[in-house]
């Protein structure tokens, strides 16, 4: 298949490699292994701290090391966490704060809450040294005001701000949908969209021809193709998959399947029955939920996908 032409507008300079592996780090206790931030395996290029939560001010978010996590680690303070952010950065990694999550209730629905979002995320960046923000709002968003908030934040931080997103599959089915519209509206400053290709059931791909079953090469490739053909640059598209058993309720695949999807999209090889209309050598990479689940499962995801 033909290769996509190079982008007409250069991507923002963020200091990230051309291809990246993103992983979420848990700021909470669950059955996965608890980790200090500095113990994130070296394979991860971009670490998203999960999560900043809503405060009593509409649009504003806050963050602190979770007391339960701290106790599980035998004591882990905000100061130690901040030092760990700098430690990862000294290793050439980038650390961003993820906003929301499955149970998050962050709402940016008007001009005032957009200001509150930008100011509060900026304060967290100043306090902890984060390199950017990840928008993981699984309960809907307003593309107009979230775009205002992110542009305001970028004006405060500078052009190196990393802006990531982690929409659910349903959020990226149609460019008119709110999440997809946000991505396209801020395409000039957007770093990467790591869609969660899991917990979704079967979905239509870019051929609008069949409902592909999650947990397959066809599903990952056909759904990523929607974004690649509907306006996002290849360097703005990442493949989000669970790190293994325990990490998700559905859509768990062997890391080799992630590599096959990457091959199919970038080279036209190792495809299933679905083949994209062209190849996208600039595809940004992969994301996993989560670093903690990956470590629980012997770091198999990172060790397999990162070198690939």
Place of tokens 């519209």: 181
3-state DSSP assignment of residue 2: coil
Closest CA to 125 of 90, 165, 89, 169: 89
Catalytic annotation present for 138? yes
Closest CA to 28 of 59, 49, 56: 49
Residues 145 and 147: their CA atoms lie apart, in Å, by 5
Closest CA to 47 of 83, 76, 20: 20
**What's the token pair of residue 222?**
């056909």
Q: Are 150 and 186 in contact (CB under 8 A)?
A: yes
Q: Are 2 and 267 in contact (CB under 8 A)?
A: no
Q: Are 94 and 162 in contact (CB under 8 A)?
A: yes
Which of 43, 80, 138, 229 is flagged as catalytic?
138
CA angle, residues 290, 252, 205, in degrees to nearest 5: 110
Place of tokens 């991505």: 183
3-state DSSP assignment of residue 150: helix
Residues 284 and 236: their CA atoms lie apart, in Å, by 6
CA angle, residues 118, 179, 3, in degrees to nearest 5: 115
Cβ neighbours around 289 below 10 Å, total: 28
6: DSSP letter: P
Which residues are identified as catalytic? 138
């Amino acid at each position: 298949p033909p290769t996509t032409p190079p982008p007409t507008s250069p991507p923002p300079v963020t200091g990230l490699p051309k291809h990246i592996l993103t992983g979420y780090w848990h700021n909470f206790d669950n059955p996965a292994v608890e980790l200090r931030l500095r113990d994130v395996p070296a394979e991860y290029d971009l670490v998203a701290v999960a999560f900043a939560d809503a405060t009593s001010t509409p649009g504003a978010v806050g963050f602190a090391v979770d007391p339960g996590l701290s106790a599980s680690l035998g004591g882990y303070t905000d100061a130690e966490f901040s030092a760990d952010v700098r430690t990862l950065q000294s290793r050439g990694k980038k650390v961003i704060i993820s906003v929301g999550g499955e149970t998050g209730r962050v709402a940016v629905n008007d001009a005032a809450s957009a200001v509150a979002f930008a100011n509060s995320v900026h304060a967290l960046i100043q306090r902890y040294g984060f390199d950017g923000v990840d928008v993981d709002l699984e309960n809907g968003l307003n593309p107009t005001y979230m775009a205002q908030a992110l542009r305001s934040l970028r004006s405060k931080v500078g052009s190196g701000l990393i802006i990531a997103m982690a929409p659910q599959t349903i959020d990226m089915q149609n460019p008119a949908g709110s999440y997809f519209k946000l991505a396209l509206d801020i395409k000039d400053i957007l770093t990467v969209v790591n869609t969660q290709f899991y917990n979704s059931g079967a979905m239509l791909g870019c051929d609008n021809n069949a409902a592909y079953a999650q947990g397959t090469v066809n599903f990952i490739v056909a759904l990523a193709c929607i974004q690649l053909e509907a306006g996002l640059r290849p360097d703005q598209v990442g493949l989000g998959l669970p790190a293994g058993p325990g990490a998700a309720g559905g859509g768990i695949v062997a890391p080799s399947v992630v590599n096959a999807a990457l091959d199919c999209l970038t080279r036209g090889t190792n495809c299933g029955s679905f083949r994209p209309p062209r190849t996208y050598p600039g595809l940004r990479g992969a994301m996993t939920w989560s670093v903690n689940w990956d470590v629980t499962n012997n770091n198999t995801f990172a060790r397999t996908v990162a070198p690939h």
